[in-house]
Amino acid sequence: MDRKIKKCPQCGHNNNWLSDVCANCSTSLENVAVVALDEEISKQSGVVGKDEAKAPDVAQRTAETFRLSSASAQLESMNPSGLRFTLSGTAVLGRGADIDLTCLPESTAISRRHSKVTLETGKWYIEDLDSANGTFVNGMKLQPNLRHEIESGTKIALGNVHFIFKVS
pLDDT score, position 38: 56
Mean pLDDT is highest, among 23-27, 42-46, 59-63, for 23-27
Q: How confident is the model at residue 4 (pLDDT cuts 50, 70, 90)?
A: confident
pLDDT tens track for 130-155: 999 999 999 999 999 999 999 999 99
Share of the chain above pLDDT 90, in %: 39
pLDDT score, position 127: 97
Identify whether the C-beta of residue 48 lies closer than 8 Å to the C-beta of residue 65. Answer: no
Round to whole Å and give the CA distance between 59 and 118. Answer: 28
| φ and ψ at residue 27, rounded to 5 degrees | -70, 140
Long-range contact pairs involving 140-148 (C-beta distance under 8 Å, separation at least 24):
142/115, 147/118
pLDDT tens track for 26-48: 788 788 888 876 554 444 444 44
This prediction's pTM: 0.59
Round to whole Å and give the CA distance between 46 and 66. Answer: 22
Strand order in the sheet with 65-66: 65-66, 81-87, 73-78, 161-167, 155-158, 135-137, 140-141
